[in-house]
Amino acid sequence: MKKHLLSTLFFLSAIGFDSNAQEAIFRAQNIISPEIHDDNSVTFRLHAPNATAVQVTGDFLPSVKMETPMGQMDGPGKENLTKGENGVWEFKTAILGSELYNYSFMVDGFSTTDPSNPFIIRDVASATNIFIVGGGHADLFKTNPIPHGTVARRWYDSPGLKMNRRITIYTPPGYETSSEKYPVLYLLHGAGGDEEAWISLGRTAQIMDNLIADGKAKPMIVVMPNGNVIQDGAPGEGSKNFYKPQFMIPNTMDGTYEGAFGNIIKFVESSYRVKADKANRAIAGLSMGGFHTIHISRYYPNTFDYMGLFSAAIMPREDATGKVYSNFDKTLKAQMDNGYKLYWIAIGKSDFLYEANKEYRAKLDAMKMPYTYVESEGGHIWRNWRVYLTQFVPMLF
């Protein structure tokens, strides 16, 4: 017993253990945050005994207008936490709807993640915690006890971009044990994203697994490339290793990516069992990825039967001078004349790109180019893009 006590004391002194450290270590283990209650209200807690003010901010709160480099956009509001016993701050929400939410804390003006919640996502260079309130459409974002597909990170050769590049590919449940061929959805991220965005922020694997299991979507392969042409992989995953991600990267929307997209199709169709024809190819993207979708699908005008524009970045660009962007109206008409099964456009009513999308639809109307239009609440946010994916995928193939 004496030997055990001495060993324990030596261990505690070695880690600088005192009464404050004891409280920090063991109280942190006992804090539950966020705690989702039976009525779908949520309690946040943070142990910060020396703080003078603690706030929580997240997309579960009413949005407020914020000034950004892209103009005025919706941002999350803030609520104050109340300090309780032993330095634990708390805030309880009203009843929340079914959704995947993100949040972070502000401690005396300093933004930080929740140390009691290990579930974190990165959006560009910002890291926030997440939680899911189920009982509705967000059940599609959960990992449920159903058959699961496989998510692989592969490397492919891109002669058009003069490098090997990293790509994320989802194959449906049963792919490895079957001899069946599958249709393909090429799913493109927005500015500041990369080949990790749709998997981590978009919950693509969970959405696909759940839709397929429910019989609402056909089994398909989903290909998620990196749309940043100067990167071979996401920050921390490519040859540049660890560096701070940027929102807009040089050459991202100058036509280089669209012109080299055939390298991706070639890799997929030579490496996977796919139905390699127009009727079994779809392409969709959010924001910048919607911009890429417009131009890739008309630059390769007889390649895709399904197109999805999620809050597409339809705007004039000074660097859009490449061959890909020439003869826009002529190539768009060629795409229409070749025929397709679905040209799907969705955007939120408060999205800063709403008017640009309205103008683009007017162009399509003048051409008599068929499309399906969906208008939702909200702005330029992942909450909309996840839902758009759940709406778009069941219409494919």
Q: State residue 4's pLDDT score.
A: 46
Residue-by-residue pLDDT tens, the chain, 397 positions: 444 444 443 444 444 444 454 444 444 558 999 999 999 999 999 999 999 999 999 999 997 766 655 555 667 889 999 999 899 999 999 999 999 999 999 999 999 999 999 999 999 889 999 999 999 999 999 999 999 999 999 999 999 999 999 999 999 999 999 999 999 999 999 999 999 999 999 999 999 999 999 999 999 999 999 999 999 999 999 999 988 888 888 888 889 999 999 999 999 999 999 999 999 999 999 999 999 999 999 999 899 999 999 999 997 666 565 688 989 999 999 999 999 999 999 999 999 999 999 999 999 999 999 999 999 999 999 999 999 999 999 999 9
CATH of the domain at 129: 2.60.40.10
Which residues is 157 bridged to in the sheet? 164
Q: Quick check: 151 and 168 in contact, CB under 8 A?
A: yes
| Residue 173 preceded by cis peptide, ω within 30 | no
- Decide which of 134, 157, 188 is a domain's last residue: 134
Q: Based on the domain organization, do 250 and 221 belong to the same domain?
A: yes
Q: Based on the domain organization, do 235 and 352 belong to the same domain?
A: yes
Residue length, the chain?
Answer: 397
Q: Based on the domain organization, do 203 and 311 belong to the same domain?
A: yes
10, part of any domain: no
349, part of any domain: yes
288, part of any domain: yes
Q: Based on the domain organization, do 184 and 258 belong to the same domain?
A: yes
Q: State residue 249's pLDDT score.
A: 85
Q: State residue 15's pLDDT score.
A: 44
Q: Which two tokens stand for residue 58?
A: 């997240």
7, part of any domain: no
Which residues is 80 bridged to in the sheet? 55
CATH of the domain at 369: 3.40.50.1820
Q: Pick from 187, 179, 152: which is nearest to 166 by CA?
A: 152
124, part of any domain: yes
256, part of any domain: yes
For 110-129, b/e burial (b = at least 16 CB within 10 A) is eeeebebbeeebbbbeeebb
Is 350 in a helix, a strand, or coil? Answer: coil
**What residue numbers bound the domain in which 69 lies?**
19-134
96, part of any domain: yes
DSSP string, 77-102: -EEE-EE-GGGEEEEE--PPPSEEEE
2, part of any domain: no
Q: State residue 124's pLDDT score.
A: 87
Q: Based on the domain organization, do 235 and 323 belong to the same domain?
A: yes
Q: Based on the domain organization, do 283 and 153 belong to the same domain?
A: yes
Q: State residue 116's pLDDT score.
A: 97
Q: Pick from 107, 55, 110: which is nearest to 79 by CA?
A: 55
Burial of 203 (C-beta count, 10 Å sphere; 0-12/13-18/19+): buried
Q: Based on the domain organization, do 374 and 390 belong to the same domain?
A: yes
Q: Based on the domain organization, do 265 and 223 belong to the same domain?
A: yes
- Decide which of 93, 116, 134 is a domain's last residue: 134
Q: Based on the domain organization, do 179 and 238 belong to the same domain?
A: yes
Q: Based on the domain organization, do 63 and 165 belong to the same domain?
A: no
Q: Based on the domain organization, do 152 and 115 belong to the same domain?
A: no
Tokens 């901010």, residue?
57
Q: State residue 350's pLDDT score.
A: 95
Number of domains in the chain: 2
- Decide which of 106, 134, 162 is a domain's last residue: 134
Q: Based on the domain organization, do 112 and 146 belong to the same domain?
A: no
d(CA 306, CA 325): 20
Burial of 251 (C-beta count, 10 Å sphere; 0-12/13-18/19+): middle
Question: What residues have CB less than 8 Å from 96, skipping those under 6 apart?
Answer: 40, 41, 42, 60, 133
